[in-house]
Structure 1
Amino acid sequence: MTQPLTLQIADKGLGNTAYLVDLGDGRALAVDPSRDLRALEAAAGTRGLRIAVAADTHLHADFISGARQLAATRGATVLASAAGNRSFGHHGLRDGDEFDLGGLRLRALGTPGHTDEHLSYLLLDGSQPVGVFTGGSLLVGAAARTDLVDPDRTIELARAQYRSVHRLLELPDAVEVWPTHGAGSFCAAPAGSARTSTIGSERAANPLLSAADEDAFVARLLGSLGSFPPYFLRLGEVNRRGPAILPRRLGVEQLTPQAVAAAQATGAMIVDVRPVPAFAAGHPSGALSIPLRPAFASWLGWLAPDDTPLVVLREPDQDVEEVLWQAAKIGYDNIIGELAGGQAAWSAACLPTTSVPLVEASDAAGAAATVRVLDIRQEAEYRAGHVPGALNIELGDLPAVLGHLADVPTVVMCGHGERAMGAASLLSGAGFTQVAVFAGSSQDWAAAHGEDLAIGP
């Protein structure tokens, strides 16, 4: 048996992996493709492959599926769970159903838990199992969270996840494990950075699988759950209905500073994607800082509304199409334009501008003893080590508590500064006037003050 070529298409920002399988006849299978198909289609094009089949393991909560896009633009057949009740054309599969790929076959395995209708797909060469696309079921060192469908059903679905994972463990040890969710995904908290594994490796090393019984598995899984962006609560339904088809290239209207200011006055939000130092030096008052980087989409979906017009502010060397694709893959089709001429044009128009001081590690030792240190990392990060006395409010939770915070001298910190500047922009936009950002980590702050990090709550 010759192992079919299976390529990983990693989205490191969202922590997910799509797969491209060469079917050996010029056609390819795509599994869990994102709406941003650029990397997937480039990989297929380089190898002279046509994506003929697109399979979704479940109704994704963390990204918009590209399966319908592939059907519309490439004529691909969409495979998905029949129980998902998708509103667009697809080939519905149930547990045990098989789909002929022309020499290879896909067998659907019902593996509910992460979602009700979740399927895993076993890739067969003749009667020989080669690998299994596990989606949000069995992951590398973990299993995906079960609290996204309905918080009241979290335990019920965790028990289903236990049964699904152990069903997959009935496969031979040599079978490859190809999960969708991986390191960096808010759908899971896997240890390490490996994106694929084998059944045998997971049987031996996955911490969840060492749980003594179902109750212990459930307790361990639920104990690993952290927060997640609010867009997770609506994308499953978007994927069920079928997302709008997008053109191959995305563009956006150029807006004058005056037009942007007028839009802002009627409720639009300026999203400033420039690096932290540029935003700190000067930005339109009220702008939200989300630097363009791999994690941009997650923080856009966490901090910016999906139903409010958004205007992009970028540096000339930043790719506006990258901004638009990152937004589109989480369903943000509400970007109405970008600020023509950038910050220079805004300043030249004498429109309201704000700056945020950056505190370097060399200056941290001189910070006033009464300053409030606001650590906006996730709780697990904070517990692993933080500045003694620092107040922990996760960045995603900050908008809801702004009205309960006093406007006192505040230094915001995270790991590198990007999330901290996002928090500072929220504070500044809410009228806080004594906010600075620490351009470093909690370790850097502690070292400057000659103290050890505090561990735990």
Structure 2
Amino acid sequence: MGFAEDHLIPLVDEGLGNSAYLVDLGDGRALAVDAARDLRALHTAAARRGLRVAFAADTHLHADFLSGAVQLAHDHGASVLASAAGRRAFPHTPLGDADEVDLGGLMLRALATPGHTDEHLSFLLLDGTRELGVFTGGSLIVDSAARTDLLGADRTEELARAQYRSLRHLATLPDEVAVWPTHGAGSFCSAPPGAERTSTIGAQKRTNPLLAAPDEDAFARDLVASLGSYPAYFDRLTEVNRRGPAVLAAAPPLPGLDVRQVEALLEGGGQVVDVRPAADYAAGHVPGAVSIPLRDQFATWLGWLLPGDTPLVFVTAQGQDTGEIVWPAYKIGYERLAGHLTGGMPAWTAAGRPVATTAFVPAGRAPRGPYIDVRQHAEYAAGHVPGALNLELGDLAGHAADAPAGAVVACGHGERAMTAASLLERAGRTDVTVLAGGPAGYAAAHNLRLDHGPEGDAA
């Protein structure tokens, strides 16, 4: 058929920091690689070109999202291509190292690249004998490699050494071969994340510091040292992907609920999640509600902070699309979505129910005193307010007692800090102030110089 550049359609998930790929095979059929359960963008791209997805390839058993391969098999009749070592419990074509699949003009060759997971495959796309590009999943990623600690601390170094050998193997491909990773900037599967989404083998040999490691020991040491925390839900999804996510017959609903229905759900152990902007939450919210503003990172923090088996009720602002709640939640396996409060906070207030508020102030009005930085440790090390206590948002619920009285809670802009304040409120700590801004603005307002490095009060 001849492969043109526009035959490859990257589908970027900015929130999870991942890329899926749709490959136009030139005859009305397509290959999808590492598609997530939220298939809206993929279906749109396929429909625009009049394509049916004939093949759905997964590079590994994903931990950060539910695979869309089973759904594509249902919707399009796609053949699922995946590692035989993954022992998937649904119909698929099991592949091992060097196995090839004829796509009808193009060929897909499996390359065993363990490291991120035991059963990881990369997929080399060939046009005749010409090696076009390689879908590297969670193996070689732009200027880095994916993390190797998802199978437990006791396996981390072993898998890092496997990752070293996998990257060295991929580096033997011709320099002009394109590198199409799944994980990238913003993905907690990256270690650490880079800014670019795609590259070439030659470029990675020049710029990837892990490929420049002099030996396996140095590589493993550098990779393991770069690993930060990751969302709690990662520990659950691999097995769901092995069994195969349930097929969805239609878009999941999010029904409207009146005030009394919401109260009944709360009495039964449900949880309110307020997805409005941070400033709206601060001005008035349902007591005990967790603030997770509806933005690209919504799914990450939903999965990190709330259990997957709790009924969830959402408070929205006027004009917010409930589909942007439902699909990100289902993408990470959160399906107990009870509904949303009809009429939002105005309905709650009109019904005479109690309303809580949170102080949310710009740097110039923020008090000088204890400062809690809820960013990731790497962000903290890059520049923080002197004396700041670093309590990562993902760990905060377990450390609420460590929060000093009257503290300023801050992140980079204010969204994560408001989430942190909502968690502290649930723990009975209602005396905090949330900074609308980040450390640089606070330091400037209080004539301070930012500290750098991990030393200090990181916890």
Q: Which category of TM-score, normalised to the shorter sequence, fits these structures?
A: over 0.9
Shift of 1:403: 3.7
Conserved? CA contact 2:375–2:411, under 8 Å: yes
Q: Secondary structure at the match of 1:186?
A: coil
Shift of 1:3: 3.1
Of 199, 216, 225, the match for 1:223? 225
Q: Secondary structure at the match of 1:208?
A: coil
Shift of 1:356: 0.2
Q: Secondary structure at the match of 1:121?
A: strand
Shift of 1:409: 0.7
Shift of 1:405: 4.0
Conserved? CA contact 1:121–1:133, under 8 Å: yes
Q: Secondary structure at the match of 2:210?
A: helix
The letter of the residue matching 2:436 is A
Matches within 5 A, 1:35-74: 35-74=37-76
Conserved? CA contact 1:35–1:66, under 8 Å: yes
Matches within 5 A, 1:14-413: 14-190=16-192, 192-364=194-366, 367=367, 369=368, 371-405=369-403, 408-413=405-410
Shift of 1:190: 4.5
* Alpha-carbon separation, structure 2, partners of 1:438 and 1:312: 24
Q: Number of residue pairs matched?
A: 452
Conserved? CA contact 2:381–2:452, under 8 Å: yes
* Alpha-carbon separation, structure 2, partners of 1:313 and 1:269: 11
* Alpha-carbon separation, structure 1, partners of 2:40 and 2:139: 26
Question: What is the match of residue 3 of structure 1?
Answer: 4
Conserved? CA contact 1:274–1:315, under 8 Å: yes
* Alpha-carbon separation, structure 1, partners of 2:146 and 2:182: 10
Q: Secondary structure at the match of 1:132?
A: strand
Conserved? CA contact 1:56–1:80, under 8 Å: yes
Shift of 1:249: 2.1
Question: What is the match of residue 435 of structure 2?
Answer: 438
The letter of the residue matching 1:430 is A
The letter of the residue matching 1:11 is D
Q: Secondary structure at the match of 2:211?
A: helix
Tell me the percent identity: 60
* Alpha-carbon separation, structure 1, partners of 2:364 and 2:250: 47
- Cα RMSD of the aligned pairs, angstroms, is 1.1
Q: Secondary structure at the match of 1:51?
A: strand
* Alpha-carbon separation, structure 2, partners of 1:67 and 1:350: 47
Conserved? CA contact 1:183–1:189, under 8 Å: no
* Alpha-carbon separation, structure 1, partners of 2:148 and 2:24: 32
Shift of 1:34: 0.5
* Alpha-carbon separation, structure 2, partners of 1:442 and 1:404: 20
Gaps of 5+ in 2: none
Q: Secondary structure at the match of 2:147?
A: coil
* Alpha-carbon separation, structure 2, partners of 1:157 and 1:189: 13
**4+ runs deviating over 6 angstroms:** none
* Alpha-carbon separation, structure 1, partners of 2:194 and 2:138: 17
Conserved? CA contact 2:364–2:442, under 8 Å: no
Query: Which moves more between the two structures, 176-185 or 252-261?
Result: 252-261
For 1:35-76, what per-residue CA distance to the aligned partner results, in whole angstroms no more than 9, with x for missing partners? 000001111111111111100000000010000010011111
Conserved? CA contact 2:192–2:227, under 8 Å: no
Shift of 1:404: 4.3
Conserved? CA contact 2:144–2:194, under 8 Å: no
The letter of the residue matching 2:204 is E
Conserved? CA contact 1:122–1:132, under 8 Å: yes
* Alpha-carbon separation, structure 1, partners of 2:114 and 2:191: 19
* Alpha-carbon separation, structure 2, partners of 1:143 and 1:427: 35
Q: Secondary structure at the match of 2:80?
A: strand
The letter of the residue matching 2:392 is E
Shift of 1:410: 1.6
* Alpha-carbon separation, structure 1, partners of 2:262 and 2:447: 46
Shift of 1:363: 1.2
* Alpha-carbon separation, structure 1, partners of 2:340 and 2:54: 36
Q: Secondary structure at the match of 1:54?
A: strand
* Alpha-carbon separation, structure 2, partners of 1:236 and 1:219: 26
TM-score by length of 2: 0.97
The letter of the residue matching 2:145 is A
Question: What is the match of residue 454 of structure 1?
Answer: 451
Shift of 1:192: 4.0
* Alpha-carbon separation, structure 2, partners of 1:88 and 1:2: 31
